[in-house]
Amino acid sequence: MCIFLFSTEKFIKKTSEELKHYDGKAIIAVSGGVDSSVACILVHKIFGDRLKAVFVDTGFLRKGEITEVSLKFKKLGIPLKTVEARDVFLKNLKGVADPEKKRKIIGKTFIEIFDSEAKAFGADFLVQGTIAPDWIESGSGIRDTIKSHHNVGGLPKNMKLKLIEPLRDLYKDEVRLLAEEYGLRKDLYWSQPFPGPGLAIRVLGELTEEKINICRQANAVVCDEIFSSFEKKEIPSLPWQYFAVVLDSKSVGIQGDIRAYGYTIAVRAVEATDGLTATYARLPQDLLEKISIRITNELKGVNRVVYDVTHKPPGSIEWE
Amino acid sequence: MKIIVIDNGSQWTHRIYRTLRDLDCDSIIMPNTSGLNEVRDADALVLSGGSMRVGKDSLEGGNNDLFLKEFTGPILGVCAGMQLIGKHYGSKVKPSIKPEFGKIDLLVDNFDDLFQGVPEKSIAWASHNDEVSELPKDFILLAHSKDVKIHAFKHSKKPVYGTLFHPEVQHTEFGEKIYANFIQTIKR
């Protein structure tokens, strides 16, 4: 039924022509995700050495992600600078519980880092892998702000760097076609979207190192189990996105005959194409059970797991 | 063929643009404050939804009323866009007793043009707080749901259509078909 007319060839040709009009140097903010990687390849082909890729370790990354991203860019033959900024992010977010404030502080911290990297490199431009839902959900004018995406809503008004956003009109499914065109390897990290603020918005409310660690481990369990279930052909395909959220309330449980009062993990898996609407994924009960047993047994301080059965709308995909 | 999408601030305005583009139709998005002269040469207009509360007399409707008065080609209003049509033609828009957020069963009452080839019952996605509470004069009911009696309507003499649900989102089963049918009305 879907009549799909997006042509990667036409898009690459047209965008490459437009990119030729820029003089000077640029830095690109990469996360290792599909959007910024595709933007990077696209711009690198035109800019060459005039482009520098910067990857920020926010402290909110997934298990093994830094190694994974470094390897990926090595394979692409694009030099990557990793900026260690864990303490800065955590410090800036201390005591902040409101999700919009969290997102805006994260966006601002990113920009401060990019500003200083751009200065060092002598760049006038900042390339971002912004796609349509990022600016749509960030709102402006009469469009309500659903959530401020770090790459849009967090940008300061007096920003000196000029933005280049070659994927601004595209959706995730179209970017994935471009990724295939560029022969990007498919793996666990490629297979699903991961937000720029990372685990910081999967720990609800105020952040602590303890909760971020729980969140990182819980996300790794969800990914492991869903991926292994897919490899064993127990599920026909991977859901569009799947992850774990640490809730900001505790509940009573019993672990080894001892009263437990611990964190609740919400597991979310959704099916979507462009991410503007989504249905919750109907994962097999056995798979959910495995995830629940592993999380409550392996993670200290967690005694309950719930599964999110909300479509979008009314829920959004991420919880914050 | 050129269709202008009038942006009333919906999260899915750009999705309308994409659906039309995927149907091989030239489409551009313009703010609802655009002048009549800027939209006059379009073959059709789509009035997007938005967060404005038409049922509470929101003032964010821009020039939609002017377009409805002066534009003679086909017009499709979606969600708030449909409510603006209802209001323009003298009906009442009220807060829904049972607002719908997400998946609904869409029940088609009239298959004439917009719903050609769409089954009597299908899945659609809605996201609304208000609705057109009674059919405006000269309008024909096209579809309803369990909780909302007017989910789609058309004018009996002019090519003016409205849907409260969102045919542009991927999860509306026959959404693309509905837009294809709307494009057909231009060719008539």
Per-residue pLDDT band at A188 (split at 50, 70, 90): low
Closest by CA position to A125, among listed A137, A134, A117: A117
- Select from B7, B21, B125 the Cβ nearest to the Cβ of A277: B125
Which among A3, A272, A314 has the least Cβ separation from residue B102? A314
At residue A2, the pLDDT reads: 43
- Tell me what the mean pLDDT of segment A243-253 comes to: 94
State whether B9 and A144 contact (CB < 8 Å): yes
* Domains held by chain B: number: 1
CB of B10 closer than 8 Å to CB of B50: yes
Contact residues, chain B, for A149 at CB < 8 Å: none
Q: How far is B114 from B151, CA to CA, in rounded Å? A: 12
Number of H helices, E strands in chain B: 5, 9
Instruction: Indicate which CATH number applies to the domain containing B58.
Output: 3.40.50.880
Long-range own/partner contacts, residues A81-85 (CB < 8 A, 24 or more apart): A81/A52, A81/A53, A81/A54, A81/A55, A81/A117, A82/A55, A82/A56, A82/A57, A83/A54, A83/A55, A83/A56, A83/A57, A83/A113, A83/A117, A84/A57, A85/A56, A85/A57, A85/A58, A85/A59, A85/A109, A85/A113
Complex ipTM above 0.90?
no
Contact A269, A227 (CB under 8 A): no
Compare all CA atoms of chain A with the CA of B101 and give the residue at the minimum distance.
A314
Q: Give the residue from chain B lying closest to A7, CA to CA.
A: B22
Chain B residue numbers with beta carbons less than 8 Å from the beta carbon of A274 are 15, 18, 170
Above 80 in pLDDT, residue B5?
A: yes
CA distance B98 to chain A (A): 14
Per-residue tokens: A92: 């800036």
List B residues 15-74 in contact with A (Cβ-Cβ < 8 A).
Answer: 15, 18, 21-24, 31-32, 50-52, 60
Q: Which domain holds residue B56?
A: 2-187
Q: What is the pLDDT of residues B17-73, one digit of tens each?
A: 999 988 989 899 999 999 999 999 999 999 999 999 998 877 778 999 999 999 999
Cβ contact A54:A117 at 8 Å: yes
Strands B44-47 and B75-78: parallel
Q: With a cut of 90, say whether residue A142 has pLDDT above it.
A: no
* DSSP β-bridge partners for residue A27: A52, A126
pLDDT tens-digit readout, B108-165: 999 989 999 999 999 999 999 999 999 999 999 999 999 999 999 999 999 999 999 9
pTM equals: 0.88
B15·A278 Cβ contact <8 A: no
| Least confident piece of the model among A194-198, A276-280, B83-87, B129-133 | A194-198
**Chain B nearest C-alpha distance from A170 (Å):** 9
Does the pLDDT of residue A3 top 60, yes or no? no
Give the distance from residue A113's alpha carbon to the nearest chain B alpha carbon, in angstroms: 30
Average pLDDT on A133-140 reads 83
Residue-wise pLDDT for A27-85, tens only, equals 999 988 899 999 999 999 999 999 999 999 999 999 999 998 999 899 889 999 999 99
The pLDDT of residue A102: 95
Choose among A113, A115, A132: nearest CA to A193.
A132
For B174, what's the count of Cα atoms within 13 Å in the CB-facing half-sphere? 21
